[in-house]
Amino acid sequence: MSAPAKEKAVTGIEQLEAEAIHVLREVAGEFDRPALLFSGGKDSTVLVHLAVRAFAPVAPPFTLVHVDTGHNFPEVLQFRDDIVERFGLRLHVAEVQDWIDRGAVQERQDGMRNPLQTVPLLDTITDEKFDAVIGGGRRDEERSRAKERIFSVRDSFGRWDPRRQRVELWNLYNGMHSPGEHVRVFPISNWTELDVWRYVEARDIELPSLYFAHQREVYLRDGMWLTAGQWGGPGDDEETVEKTVRYRTVGDGSCTGAVESDAATVADIIAEIKASRLTERGASRADDRMSEAAMEDRKREGYF
């Protein structure tokens, strides 16, 4: 291959981008009321940027949905709102606290609210009559997500049955579903954490400051560095210390841990991930440690 030809060769990142944009356009073509789950985390932020590129110069035809546990990091919520305003998008927020106040869900003894998101999410899908819900799940995150197709049907109760997976050949996706059912869609299913960061670098995508190394007061619980907050900590026997940390995921503060790191730039983070032997969820998510099949059990009940 000549030097000019090499310069024009399509990269792996560009191939993944093209696949994701194709999937997003398929959703817009096949469904009447699609929505996109947006938490302000890196995966859903990449999804928003892909959707903007897919439908430019008009706004993406998706309502953004965030299930706010009430334990989210304030800087991530501000970032979420800034993105919505910057791109002129619609945002629907389901507050878990509203479901707690009316007794639809109950606080857990361990204080974690991530597992409480399922009922608010399913109620929102039903009430808003969403027929497709786009998420940032990736197959490399953990084993149950590895079982998902890109188009994944949920029954009339919002439940996922891995035995009902449809065959997906080439780039053909089947969005057919019965009344009451809906389809979860994962456009970046084939991406890895490293792919996400390479795309962030290539497209110069802004992310919440939590992802980059910074000084923070944290305390150690079950092998994870947690931030003090209204979600219940530190306890009487837990000492707060100041450390240089960053977050690999930015979910609910009650179950999302920081990792010790000096990676302050995207290039630093890419180098750090290349050397790491742990996935971001294995390194920093307590809710995935509850049991061997914790995530799969929640997905069967209707969770993300």
Q: For the chain, what percent of residues have pLDDT higher than 90?
A: 68
Does residue 5 form part of some domain? no
Element (H, E) at 216: strand 214-221
> What pLDDT band is residue 77 in, cutting at 50, 70 and 90?
very high
> What pLDDT band is residue 274 in, cutting at 50, 70 and 90?
very high
**pTM of the full structure:** 0.89
pLDDT at residue 58, rounded to an integer: 95
Question: 210 or 166: which carries more pLDDT confidence?
Answer: 210
Of 69-73, 222-226, 295-299, the one with minimum mean pLDDT is 295-299
Quick one: DSSP state of residue 131?
S
Q: Rank 154-158, 253-257, 274-278 by mean pLDDT and report only the highest.
A: 154-158
Structure-token pair, residue 290: 């509850």
Q: Rank 3-12, 42-51, 253-262, 270-279 by mean pLDDT and report only the highest.
A: 42-51
4-to-1, 9, 190 alpha-carbon distances in Å? 8, 9, 29
Domain co-membership, 131 together with 225: no
- Do you know the residue count of the chain? 304
pLDDT at residue 295, rounded to an integer: 65
∠ CA 149-43-209 to the nearest 5 degrees?
165
Please return the burial class of 152, using the count of CB atoms within 10 Å of its CB with bins 0-12, 13-18 and 19+.
buried
Domain co-membership, 45 together with 189: yes
Whole-angstrom distance, CA of residue 220 vs CA of residue 227: 9
Range of the domain at 232: 208-289
Does residue 201 form part of some domain? no
Mean pLDDT of 235-259: 91
Amino acid (one-letter) located at 88: G
Q: Where are the alpha helices (DSSP H) in 147-258?
A: 193-203
Structure confidence by residue, pLDDT tens digits, 229-243 = 878 789 889 999 999
pLDDT at 18 over 90: yes
Structure confidence by residue, pLDDT tens digits, 116-152 = 999 999 999 999 999 999 999 999 887 777 788 999 9
The domain tally of the chain equals: 2
Structure-token pair, residue 36: 């996109």
> What pLDDT band is residue 40 in, cutting at 50, 70 and 90?
very high
pLDDT at 14 over 70: yes
Question: 157 or 35: which carries more pLDDT confidence?
Answer: 35
State whether residue 259 is helix, strand or coil.
strand
Domain co-membership, 96 together with 216: no
Does residue 1 form part of some domain? no
Domain co-membership, 214 together with 93: no
Whole-angstrom distance, CA of residue 158 vs CA of residue 164: 13
Does residue 30 form part of some domain? yes
Structure confidence by residue, pLDDT tens digits, 275-299 = 987 777 666 666 655 555 666 676 6
Structure-token pair, residue 205: 């995508």
Does residue 6 form part of some domain? no
Q: Which of 130, 129, 134, 131 is nearest to 150 (CA)?
A: 134
pLDDT at residue 220, rounded to an integer: 92
State whether residue 66 is helix, strand or coil.
strand
Domain co-membership, 171 together with 269: no
Domain co-membership, 25 together with 173: yes
pLDDT at residue 183, rounded to an integer: 96
Whole-angstrom distance, CA of residue 252 vs CA of residue 284: 11
Domain co-membership, 69 together with 190: yes
Mean pLDDT of 21-27: 98
pLDDT at 6 over 60: no
Domain co-membership, 213 together with 190: no
Q: Which residues of 11-22 are buried (b: 16+ CB within 10 A; e: fewer)?
A: eebeebbebbbe
pLDDT at 54 over 70: yes
pLDDT at residue 144, rounded to an integer: 74
Domain containing 116 — which CATH number?
3.40.50.620
Whole-angstrom distance, CA of residue 209 vs CA of residue 66: 19
Mean pLDDT, the chain, as a whole number? 90
Domain co-membership, 115 together with 160: yes
Question: 277 or 22: which carries more pLDDT confidence?
Answer: 22
Does residue 53 form part of some domain? yes
Whether residue 21 contacts residue 49, with contact meaning beta carbons closer than 8 Å, is answered with no
Whole-angstrom distance, CA of residue 140 vs CA of residue 152: 17
Domain co-membership, 106 together with 28: yes
Does residue 4 form part of some domain? no
